[in-house]
Amino acid sequence: MRTMEQTEDFIVDKKITAQFIILTFCIMAATWGLCVVAGKFGVTVGEYSNHLWIYLPYMLGGWSPTIASYIVLKKNKKVSGLKQWLKNVFNVKNSAIQYLFVVFMISLFFGSQIIITGLKEMQPIYMLIAFLPVMLVGGGLEEAGWRYILQPELDKKYGFVLSSIITAIIWFAWHIPLFYIPGTNQHEALNLWMFAIGVLGLTFSFGAIRKVSGSVFLAVLAHSMTNAGWSTFIFPRTWLGTIVSTVLLVAVSTTVVFVNNHKMKSHT
């Protein structure tokens, strides 16, 4: 039975989760909605775009979870200001094993698909590191919302597996407008439902990294490395490769979280 203080904390956390989702989707709808409409009039993003202004709403849409994270946490007095929020998101003080776990999960994601489909082309491996700053801005910072607020808060109520599934559905729904914005990778090259399967695996993976390490930064790093990996390792995206990688990520993530939970209970 909850104490009065626990009940109040639960209500606050539930409110934060709802506010985060609503604000994220409102920002996304306003910005990416403009991009979708602009696309109908020939205004595109990507290498063939001659309209630089479209990148402002395009990037703001991508940062909607990041922006919503700070606003909601500040509003609910979970952080005192931008400095504390940045410190929480970019806390790099993690163990070598935790960093190796990130590398292992990224290797599992790409390696399993490459084994199945074969590698068409590969950039020098150092490019994976070189791409990271760009991919931090172009995707990694989403984790300041998804893995800082949404998935951990859902985990408190539903546990790791169900919270991962719910987060994956929300995360996938957030991505859908990109499939209707001319010039994006999603619009030009990706299958919507194959993408959804991939999102499920990555949600389990990033969620496990966040849960066992307690680090938002490692989730940011994992997301950035994943995006950088797509530019480093060139291979066909297939249903079989996507399904196999997702099954492996779900299985490994769930096992690692289960073992970690068991260890924590044994020490209490």
The three-point CA angle 102-104-110 to 5° equals: 105
pLDDT of residue 63: 97
pLDDT for 265 equals 79
Quote the pLDDT of residue 6.
39
Residue 10 confidence (pLDDT):
41
**Strands, E, within the chain: which ranges?**
121-122, 233-234
* Torsion sign, CA atoms 80, 155, 171, 94: positive
pLDDT score of 127: 86
* Mean pLDDT, contiguous 10-residue spans, the chain (268 residues): 36 83 98 95 81 93 97 95 96 96 98 95 88 89 96 95 98 97 87 96 98 96 96 94 98 97 79
Q: Which long-range contacts (CB under 8 A, 24 or more apart) does 39-43 make?
A: 39/180, 39/181, 39/182, 39/183
Q: How many H helices and E strands in the chain?
A: 13, 2
Output the pTM of the full model: 0.92
d(CA 150, CA 65): 10
